A and B are shown apart, each in its own frame.
Chain A
Amino acid sequence: MKTQKSDKPPVNPINIEFISEPEKITLSNKVPVFIINGGNEEITKIDFVLRAGFTSEEIPLQSSTVARMLTEGGSEKLTANEINHILDYYGITFNVTTDRDLTVISAIFLSKYFTKALELCGEIIFNPKFPEDELKNLMNRRLQGFLVSREKVSTIATEHFFESIFGKNHPYGIRLSAEDFLRIKPVHLRNYHSRYYTPQEMTLFLSGKTPPEAKEHLDNYFGSIEHFPGDRKKSPPLPYGEKKRNLFIPKEGAVQSAIRIGSQTIKRSNPDFASLLIVNTILGGYFGSRLMKNLREEKGYTYGIYSYLVSHELAGYLLIATEVGKKYTQKAVKEIFKEIKLLQKKPVKERELEMVKNYMLSDLVRMFDGPFATAESFRLVWESGIDMSFYQSMAQKIKSITADEIIHIARSYYDIDELYTVIAGPEK
């Protein structure tokens, strides 16, 4: 009954079938539409991607509030209750997110309701009303959510981290205050909507099962939206970090400290990005990472630790994030820096390199598994102004990267003196 070690099955090479650039069409008003057709299920997704993030705001919360009000304030033809009823009646999942550069509005629905969903999206997204009473109600609720999130060391540390690396006056780094939630008025929303929910700011992504006459339908519902005459808000300058590189924010009664360590870094369009992604993965980008093995599986300081490499329009950033038992706070910080320095000094051993390579290659496979995943992966490169060849070069880089290159990249992009360390937790 005993299985011998030699019984270990062989590991087969992981093949990646890359998908070429998606089909692109253009609506009558020049709105580009990318189509990723496919999948076994009768499900369709449409994403409305608008260049309407924090950087285009006149006052804080403007972009996210416009997006949130779409289903809260009603439209020209429908009340908010009617909108929500119809969405649920047809089983349409309607979702909005806003970040530093973009607002993304997504609808996922059964393919048989294609035209119904498009019609409804058109009404909700492009003909909204912003009544004062509903706005006030939403902002009071959001304020409470904000106050609750302010009780979490994870939120406190993350907010201060971004303020530190991007600067407190830059839209990338701005930290909200309670007053921001009470200041916003319907006129801010109307102005913002009429300027940014426009063809010149918009790109559509259609994925899943799409009918052959998709283009006609899209043009019918979104092709006649008019351009706004006038320029968008001037892009802010590149963000600059604050001088202070070590920050401690006390949180009374906390039983864990949240640690955030990182800095600004290169964007996805930089040729070194894929290599940096590999280094980031080794350090803390997957469960087998060095940080996870050290701080969780050896020392038991934390439930989990991850590091992230994220690219935005104006800057990228590296971030190591964890929550640790309060008595381990200083030890954990020390170990994190130890692991970074180790990556800069000692070559990665062959087995670890093989593991991270195979993990990353199969992760690439997951990124193209089905039309929705493919559409998301495409959007990621599209946002950075590059194309799908990024993934082919990334696969090449994963296969070819050497231990020496890893040392070189770790030294070039993790500058110990430049890293910010932000901790929120109980006083020592």
Chain B
Amino acid sequence: MIDLKKCCLNNGLRVIVNEDNSTPLAAVSLVYMVGSRNEDPELTGLAHLFEHLMFRGSENVPDFDDQLQLAGGENNAFTNSDITNYHLTIPAVNIETAFWLESDRMKGPNITEESLTNQKMVVLEEYRQAYLNQPYGDATLLLRPLAYKVHPYRWPTIGKEEHIKKVTLSDVKDFFRSYYAPNNCIMTIAGNVKSDDIFKLADKWFGKIKMRRVNPVSLPEEPEQNKERNLTVKRNVPANALYKAWHVCGRKEPSFFTLDLLTDILAAGESGRLHKILIREKKLFSSINSYLTGDLDPGLLIIQGRLMNGVSYEKAETELNNIIEELKNTPVPDEEMEKVKNRFEAEHIMERVNILGRVLALSQYEVLGDASLINSEIDQYRNVTPEMVKNAAAKYLKPENCSTLFYKSTGAKQL
């Protein structure tokens, strides 16, 4: 049981505290409810680029990282389709420094032409390092626009190169005004702190920042897919790879838990069906995985794997389909169901042992509606039955709901 205290400032900033006196540290997370889904389709990548710019100083803090490090802190941040998360750990005795730094940049980062140009370069190198200069690195860039035709999830968070290049200072300022308001933010703190002190500090540092109108999220709904989609690309990689994506529900819907366990039945640990059958027994794949994208709006269930040399796509797909068909036709045995639930529960506990993992989980639950879900969500998983898994498989894992990327090796690099 994780003990929580919550308050909401007059300006709408939500503050969540978990006291833990077993550590001398504190972890802090600020989630702004803005991600790449909020971007203009002609200016993708802005949310992530903006995250970089938030570290380039603000009115009273010209050097965010230096000031944090001076107080013994360490930080990072990430952006995804739905949110932007800034997180840090710091000796608890210096917790006020985190308030000073975070409140100052919430009032407005100090972005110059120079820092914008510099961080565009850095982001473009990030893009090259993570997507262009890696074997199979562009697969997700190809899969998204295949699966989504209308919804902003069709573009990746990193954005398009030509969009990143054309971002202007005024784009950046507009973006800030539209989304970086206290009422669009959740602050979560865990560690050796007292909640009363934290609420006082929150009021002292953030209380005077004015509530602002935030651009409402009204995103186009992705129409139902009723025809299978295929894309084949050829790349200079050592092995053929296969990517399949089915549209599923959003993160807040009850089916999410069922689908999450379904992907665990397929691919959690080394005992998942895909590993057991397709890798060990039939020797068709060298690696394979299945997971949910877990987005707020309806997301994807993805299965991706690399084929062993000499295995045809036809054979690999047939055997994969057999496993999917079995999920639709035969209820999962109780012992296997129990296994994925136990495994989920153990992982659930382990991921929040450390205060940073805990604030990230808590803030994620608050994004979903309530941080205290952290204590009850396990029951939702426990309540999933074999029948529910079977029904979910039948409902979602239909061929006409699926997009497939055949990522083919040109053969030059094979042994």
Could you tell me which A residues sit within 8 Å of B by CB distance? 1-5, 7-9, 11-15, 17, 39-43, 71-72, 80-81, 84-85, 87-93, 108-110, 134, 137, 140-141, 143-145, 147-148, 150-153, 178, 253-256, 286-288, 296-303, 323-325, 351, 354-356, 358-359, 361-363, 365-366, 369-370, 372
Cβ B349 vs Cβ A140 within 8 A: no
- Tell me the bound Cα distance from A5 to B59 in angstroms: 9
8 pairs from A and B in contact (CB 8 Å cutoff): A1-B107, A9-B96, A41-B353, A81-B271, A141-B287, A148-B237, A287-B75, A297-B122
User: Given that A43-B353, A358-B70 are known contacts, is A85 also in contact with B339, CB under 8 Å in the complex?
Assistant: yes
Q: Which A residues touch B214, using CB under 8 A?
A: none
Answer whether residue B400 sits at the interface, using C-beta atoms and an 8 A cutoff: no
Cβ B133 vs Cβ A153 within 8 A: yes
- Tell me the bound Cα distance from A90 to B271 in angstroms: 12
- Tell me the bound Cα distance from A255 to B208 in angstroms: 47
- Tell me the bound Cα distance from A325 to B225 in angstroms: 39
Q: How far is the CB of B74 from chain A (nearest CB, A)?
A: 7
- Of the four ranges (under 10, 10 to 19, 20 to 34, 35 or more), the interface on chain B belongs to 35 or more
User: Given that A109-B346, A255-B128, A303-B126 are known contacts, is A287 also in contact with B353, CB under 8 Å in the complex?
Assistant: no
Residue of A nearest to B61 (CB): A8
Interface hit among B16-24, B35-43, B162-170, B382-390: B16-24
Cβ A358 vs Cβ B69 within 8 A: yes
Interface hit among B85-93, B175-183, B314-322: B85-93
Q: How far is the CB of B105 from chain A (nearest CB, A)?
A: 12
Cβ A85 vs Cβ B89 within 8 A: no
Cβ B94 vs Cβ A12 within 8 A: yes
Cβ A40 vs Cβ B415 within 8 A: no
Answer whether residue B350 sits at the interface, using C-beta atoms and an 8 A cutoff: yes
Cβ B24 vs Cβ A301 within 8 A: no
Residue of B nearest to A352 (CB): B66
Cβ A14 vs Cβ B93 within 8 A: yes
User: Given that A11-B94, A325-B125, A354-B70 are known contacts, is A137 also in contact with B280, CB under 8 Å in the complex?
Assistant: yes
Q: How far is the CB of B306 from chain A (nearest CB, A)?
A: 7
Cβ A302 vs Cβ B70 within 8 A: no
Contact of B276 among A14, A84, A134, A363 (CB under 8 A): A84
User: Given that A303-B122, A359-B69 are known contacts, is A147 also in contact with B238, CB under 8 Å in the complex?
Assistant: yes
Residue of A nearest to B23 (CB): A369
Q: Which A residues touch B97, using CB under 8 A?
A: 8-9, 11
Cβ B276 vs Cβ A359 within 8 A: no
- Tell me the bound Cα distance from A372 to B357 in angstroms: 14
Please name 15 further chain A to chain B contacts, defined as beta carbons within 8 Å, in addition to the given A144-B309, A358-B71, sorted by A numbering: A1-B209, A9-B94, A40-B22, A93-B350, A140-B308, A144-B306, A148-B135, A151-B236, A153-B133, A288-B69, A303-B130, A359-B74, A362-B72, A362-B73, A366-B74
- Tell me the bound Cα distance from A397 to B59 in angstroms: 35
Q: How far is the CB of B106 from chain A (nearest CB, A)?
A: 11
- Tell me the bound Cα distance from A14 to B25 in angstroms: 10
- Tell me the bound Cα distance from A80 to B134 in angstroms: 32
Q: How far is the CB of B367 from chain A (nearest CB, A)?
A: 24
Q: Which B residues touch A5, using CB under 8 A?
A: 60
User: Given that A85-B339, A256-B125, A303-B125 are known contacts, is A39 also in contact with B308, CB under 8 Å in the complex?
Assistant: no
User: Given that A84-B276, A144-B239, A358-B71 are known contacts, is A288 also in contact with B66, CB under 8 Å in the complex?
Assistant: yes
Answer whether residue B394 sits at the interface, using C-beta atoms and an 8 A cutoff: no
Cβ B276 vs Cβ A81 within 8 A: yes
Q: How far is the CB of B55 from chain A (nearest CB, A)?
A: 9
Contact of B238 among A140, A148, A369 (CB under 8 A): A148
Answer whether residue B118 sits at the interface, using C-beta atoms and an 8 A cutoff: yes
User: Given that A84-B276, A303-B122, A362-B91 are known contacts, is A145 also in contact with B287, CB under 8 Å in the complex?
Assistant: yes
Q: Which B residues touch A12, using CB under 8 A?
A: 91, 93-94
Contact of A151 among B74, B120, B122, B237 (CB under 8 A): B237
- Tell me the bound Cα distance from A147 to B136 in angstroms: 13
Cβ A358 vs Cβ B72 within 8 A: yes
Answer whether residue B338 sits at the interface, using C-beta atoms and an 8 A cutoff: yes
User: Given that A87-B271, A370-B354 are known contacts, is A144 also in contact with B339, CB under 8 Å in the complex?
Assistant: no
Residue of B nearest to A362 (CB): B72
Cβ B100 vs Cβ A7 within 8 A: yes
Q: How far is the CB of A256 from chain B (nearest CB, A)?
A: 5
Residue of B nearest to A140 (CB): B308
Q: How far is the CB of A407 from chain B (nearest CB, A)?
A: 22
Q: Which B residues touch A147, using CB under 8 A?
A: 238-239, 413, 415
Could you tell me which B residues sit within 8 Å of A by CB distance? 20, 22-25, 59-60, 65-67, 69-75, 89-91, 93-94, 96-97, 99-100, 103-104, 107, 117-126, 128-130, 132-136, 205, 208-210, 236-239, 268-271, 275-276, 279-280, 283, 286-287, 306, 308-309, 335, 338-340, 342-343, 345-347, 349-350, 353-354, 413, 415
Contact of A287 among B69, B96, B103, B340 (CB under 8 A): B69
- Tell me the bound Cα distance from A140 to B125 in angstroms: 33
Cβ B69 vs Cβ A141 within 8 A: no
Cβ A144 vs Cβ B308 within 8 A: yes
Cβ B208 vs Cβ A325 within 8 A: no
Q: Which B residues touch A256, using CB under 8 A?
A: 125, 128-129, 132-133
Cβ A3 vs Cβ B103 within 8 A: yes
Q: How far is the CB of B192 from chain A (nearest CB, A)?
A: 10
Cβ B60 vs Cβ A4 within 8 A: yes
- Tell me the bound Cα distance from A359 to B67 in angstroms: 10
Q: Which B residues touch A14, using CB under 8 A?
A: 72, 91, 93-94
- Tell me the bound Cα distance from A7 to B107 in angstroms: 15
Q: Which B residues touch A93, using CB under 8 A?
A: 346-347, 350
- Tell me the bound Cα distance from A323 to B129 in angstroms: 7
- Tell me the bound Cα distance from A225 to B119 in angstroms: 58
Q: How far is the CB of B309 from chain A (nearest CB, A)?
A: 7
Q: Which B residues touch A369, using CB under 8 A?
A: 23-25, 354
- Tell me the bound Cα distance from A287 to B55 in angstroms: 12
Q: Which B residues touch A362, using CB under 8 A?
A: 25, 72-74, 90-91
- Tell me the bound Cα distance from A7 to B101 in angstroms: 11
Cβ B25 vs Cβ A143 within 8 A: no
Q: Which B residues touch A365, using CB under 8 A?
A: 24-25, 72, 91
Q: How far is the CB of B153 from chain A (nearest CB, A)?
A: 24
Cβ A91 vs Cβ B345 within 8 A: yes
Q: How far is the CB of A257 from chain B (nearest CB, A)?
A: 9
Residue of A nearest to B344 (CB): A91
User: Given that A7-B60, A152-B134, A255-B133 are known contacts, is A286 also in contact with B69, CB under 8 Å in the complex?
Assistant: yes
Q: How far is the CB of B235 from chain A (nearest CB, A)?
A: 10
Q: Which B residues touch A39, using CB under 8 A?
A: 22, 353
- Most chain A CB neighbours (cut-off 10 Å) among B73, B99, B117, B125: B125
Q: How far is the CB of B99 from chain A (nearest CB, A)?
A: 8
Q: Which A residues touch B73, using CB under 8 A?
A: 362
Q: Which B residues touch A150, using CB under 8 A?
A: 238
Cβ A91 vs Cβ B342 within 8 A: yes
Contact of A141 among B236, B279, B346, B353 (CB under 8 A): B279
Residue of A nearest to B415 (CB): A178
Cβ B91 vs Cβ A9 within 8 A: no
Q: Which A residues touch B132, using CB under 8 A?
A: 255-256
Residue of B nearest to A303 (CB): B126
Cβ B345 vs Cβ A366 within 8 A: no
- Tell me the bound Cα distance from A348 to B130 in angstroms: 34
